[in-house]
Amino acid sequence: MLHIALTGGIGSGKSTVASMFGQHGAPVIDADEIARDLVRRDEPAYHETVRAFGTGILDTNREIDRQRLGERIFSDASERRILEGIIHPRVRQEIIARTTLASFPYCIIVVPLLLEANMQDLADRILVIECSEQLQIARVRTRSSLSEERIRRIMATQASSAERRLMADDVIVNDTDLADLQRQVDRLHGQYLALAALTRPPSA
């Protein structure tokens, strides 16, 4: 199976593109979703995170308050690295486990922080989705209550589009409408099927 890592900045369109590939039948593995599940109450990474950051990050149900934890790590790079040290190795393990189970010519692994987490080696190809900063901010703001200042702070912690381009095997430019995005996904779907057929080992 061909492993395609899908990455891009906040609000660039990763989830939208992933669901378009999903409609073609491709299994979609989402690193953010895995990371969220890992720190649910009483999961092993939950205890490690609370030990590292204190009970001040918990809400009244003793679940980790992601907003509060987010405030801490986006304003302090050393705290961000501590959290990454707890989460990233487990996310990597889970991605590998899920790709082993999937059966389709290719799978899509959505890893927003692919470069930052050094997970490029999990992929046969890297698909980068890009859009202008203004569109990123506008799209995130229509979807959430994050302020422009907060979105810009998050963008500052992420790889730049130039850094992503350097790693990209394929690029989707998401600067226009959803119909154009769909056309780009359909074209790549065809290419990935063809590539997977070329790389499939001959059957015994």
Using CB under 6 A, list all residues that contact ligand ATP: 8, 10-16, 112, 139-140, 142-143, 174, 177-178, 181
Q: Which C-beta is closer to ligand ATP: that of 108 or that of 195? A: 108
Q: How far is the CB of 18 from ligand ATP (least distance, A)?
A: 7
Q: How far is the CB of 99 from ligand ATP (least distance, A)?
A: 20
Distance, in Å, from the CA atom of 9 to the CA atom of 122, rounded to the nearest integer, reads 19
For CA atoms 86, 89, 92, 97, the dihedral sign is negative
Q: Which C-beta is closer to ligand ATP: that of 111 or that of 140? A: 140
Inter-helix orientation angle 77-101/31-38, to 10°: 110
Rounded to 5 degrees, what are φ and ψ at 159? -60, 155
How many CB atoms sit inside 10 A of residue 187's CB?
12
CA angle 64, 70, 73 (to 5 degrees): 115
Q: How far is the CB of 113 from ligand ATP (least distance, A)?
A: 10
Q: Which C-beta is closer to ligand ATP: that of 10 or that of 159? A: 10
Q: How far is the CB of 139 from ligand ATP (least distance, A)?
A: 3
Q: Which C-beta is closer to ligand ATP: that of 3 or that of 139? A: 139
Q: Which C-beta is closer to ligand ATP: that of 33 or that of 169? A: 33
Q: How far is the CB of 50 from ligand ATP (least distance, A)?
A: 25
Q: Which C-beta is closer to ligand ATP: that of 171 or that of 196? A: 171
What are the structure tokens assigned to 72, written together?
């801490």
Q: How far is the CB of 48 from ligand ATP (least distance, A)?
A: 24
Tokens 């790590």 sit on residue: 73
Task: Report CA-CA distances (Å) from 168 to 1, 67, 130.
Answer: 19, 31, 11
Contact 38, 91 (CB under 8 A): yes
Contacts of 121 (CB under 8 A, 6+ apart): none
